[in-house]
């Protein structure tokens, strides 16, 4: 799924296994889209000039030009490009922050830690959604939406108080609020903060949500995501 506001990512590391590991981690985080990798600063510079990524993961200890030097070049030439350093040693942390890096990750990098670093880059998403209902217009706090269900032309928005109808599609919601909703079915999204568990009936899995008696179905292709989320 490519969100409109996905971040394009370049991986710079002189060790292939480290690049592969980072590729895997990145592909598990929805908002990141890896567009290339480089094994040294020279290649990295070419890639950056050609692709202008939003974010560069930068290993510090590399031959010839190291990550800090490359970061200095980057912050002069492409100040909008964000930098996250990756390194096996933490002796560089102070120098790294001089460069105005978003974060500094120690190897081996854990997914939770990577997610935290990426979170810093995501602008606070718009937290309100305006909906017209007949003559009235409502402002819904996005965090109050428990789940969304697409029904032919309309999308049902379920909150604790009531259900609203909108013409916006589930894709529109995913694009506008990429860090808030979790897809569980081609016709349903849930707000995972309301997810309390799942119920299994033979082949069918249902999501159990707080504040509602609805139990939306989880399609087979999304069951692993839900289990992951619940760590079941």
Number of folded domains that form the chain: 2
**Which of 197, 157, 153 has its CA nearest to residue 180?**
157
**Which of 148, 151, 169, 172 has its CA nearest to residue 159?**
148
Judge whether 110 lies within some domain: yes
Q: Phi-psi bin for 46: left (phi > 0), alpha (psi -120 to 50), beta?
A: alpha
Query: What is the tens place of the pLDDT at every residue in 152-190?
Result: 889 999 999 999 999 899 998 988 887 789 999 999 999
Domain final residue, candidates 65, 89, 119: 119
| 33: Cα separation from own chain's centroid | 9
Domain final residue, candidates 91, 119, 147: 119
Domain final residue, candidates 119, 153, 181: 119
Domain encompassing residue 29: 7-119
**Which of 142, 209, 221 has its CA nearest to residue 179?**
142
Query: What is the tens place of the pLDDT at every residue in 78-115?
Result: 998 999 999 988 877 777 778 888 999 999 999 989 98
Query: What is the tens place of the pLDDT at every residue in 125-140?
Result: 457 788 877 777 788 8
Judgement on whether residues 101 and 187 belong to the same structural domain of the protein = no
């Amino acid at each position: 799924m490519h969100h409109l506001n996905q971040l394009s990512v370049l991986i710079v590391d002189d060790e292939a296994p480290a690049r592969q590991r980072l590729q895997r981690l990145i592909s598990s985080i929805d908002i990141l889209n890896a567009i290339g990798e480089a094994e040294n600063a020279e290649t990295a510079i070419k890639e950056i000039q050609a692709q202008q990524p939003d974010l560069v993961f930068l290993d510090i200890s590399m031959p010839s030009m190291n990550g800090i030097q490359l970061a200095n070049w980057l912050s002069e030439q492409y100040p909008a490009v964000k930098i996250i350093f990756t390194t096996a040693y933490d002796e560089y942390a102070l120098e790294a922050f001089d460069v105005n890096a978003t974060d500094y990750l120690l190897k081996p990098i854990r997914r939770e830690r990577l997610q935290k670093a990426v979170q810093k880059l995501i602008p606070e998403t718009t937290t309100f959604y305006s909906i017209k209902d007949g003559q009235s217009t409502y402002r819904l706090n996005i965090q109050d939406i428990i789940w969304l269900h697409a029904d032919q032309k309309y999308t049902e928005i379920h909150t604790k108080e009531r259900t609203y109808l909108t013409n916006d599609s589930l894709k529109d919601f995913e694009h506008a609020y990429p860090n808030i909703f979790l897809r569980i079915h081609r016709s349903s999204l849930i707000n995972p903060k309301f997810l309390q568990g799942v119920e299994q009936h033979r082949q069918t899995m249902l999501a159990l949500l707080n504040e509602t008696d609805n139990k939306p179905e989880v399609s087979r292709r999304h069951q692993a995501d839900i289990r992951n989320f619940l760590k079941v």
